[in-house]
Structures are given as C-alpha cells and as structure tokens.
Amino acid sequence: MKKIVLIVTDASPLITLAVAGELDVLLLPRLRVIVPDMVQFEVVRHADKPGARETMSWIKEHEGKDLVIGKTQEYEDFKILYKHNPNTRTRNRGEQAAAEILVAELKNDLEAAILLFEDSDIKKANFLVRLPDNVLVMSTSTYLDGLQRAELIASADNILKRAIEVRGREVNNRTIQAMTGAEEMVDTWETSFKSQG
C-alpha cells in the first residue's frame, strides 16, 4: 500500500481549524504540510474575517519548520490581475493552486498525498480532473476522524463543535474521494499516521 507523505490544504479547513483553536492538528502526523500561496492570501486577506489572525500567527510560527508556503503560477497570475483591479475575485483560485502543488509534488511518483477541502464543489469534475493520481481528497471532519482513530487526538467531535458556531453545521460533513491509485487507501489511510507519530 502507498504511504501518505504530504498534506496540502485549501482555505476552508484552515479557517475551520483556526476558529476551533486547533491549527496544530495539521502537524500531528509529522508529514510535510503545504499551504499554497493563493490559499494563504485567501485566508489572511481580510484580518477581520474569522480565523484570519489565528492563521497568520500560526503560519508565522511554523513556516520553514513544520510547514511550507507553496509557490504557484496561479497566485503569480492573480497578483498581476489584482494589481490592476483590487476587486478581482479569488473564487476557485485556491483550489487550482492546490492542484498545481499536488501535480508538482507527485510528478516523481512520490507515494500519496491528502488534500483537505470543505467545499461541495469538490464533486465538480472540472476541479477533480486537475488533480494527479494518488491523492485522497477529504473534508476536515474526515481528517480529524482519522487523527482520532490513530490516537493522535482525543475527539474529532469536540474540535468540530468549537468550529460550528462560526462555520456552521456543514463542518460535520464527512467526505472522502480517492483519485486513481489511492482507492485502496480510503478505509485505512490513517494507519500512515500511526507509523509517523
């Protein structure tokens, strides 16, 4: 079975974990964690939005040690547009940046990766076709369940309860989808965490 070696996150999981005061759970499996530069921009762009300040502080504390801000062409292209029009929307750009990171990271047959994602748009084929093989796409709640099964946290539900007040009940939605090559990992992916912890 392939081994998970990387976690890439979209904006929504960062916000959910930030408002719950639990961003450090991303680091518990002791895997490489990459936040795409476009995703970082989306989360911290407005400091008054839920989770923005917490995420800024967390990135500052861990960048270069436990996590990497992944550079993407998606963000470079956005910066050019944004310079000419500060009202340029970021819609779907974080997801595209995450896909770009995963393609670059997995191109040399680097085992497998997790993409954390909380949007119902995950089912849209136009996004999924951009993802490489060997990726498990999962919701924050599914990721937390795996941490609990691997005995790295006491309770996924306790963390999610703290996020619901700000993020809504949708954070409880458990979803996981496997790209080609990762299908066999759907039911056992958290065993990778046990060997890392």
- List the CATH number of the domain containing 137: 3.40.50
Question: Comparing C-alpha atoms, which of 115, 125, 58, 127 is closest to residue 91?
Answer: 127
What confidence score (pLDDT) does residue 127 get? 65
C-beta separation of 100 from 72 below 8 A: yes
First to last CA, the chain: 18
- Averaged pLDDT for residues 151-169: 93
Take residue 154 and report the two structure tokens written for it. 């006491």
Count of domains in the chain? Answer: 1
C-beta separation of 162 from 19 below 8 A: yes
Range of the domain at 93: 4-196
**In sequence order, what are the residues at sequence separation of 6 or more whose Cβ sits closer than 8 angstroms to the Cβ of residue 147?**
25, 28, 29, 153, 156, 190, 193
- Averaged pLDDT for residues 186-193: 85
Average pLDDT, rounded, for the chain: 89
123 pLDDT band (50/70/90 cuts)?
A: low
pTM of the predicted model as reported, rounded to 2 decimal places = 0.91
The count of residues in the chain is 197
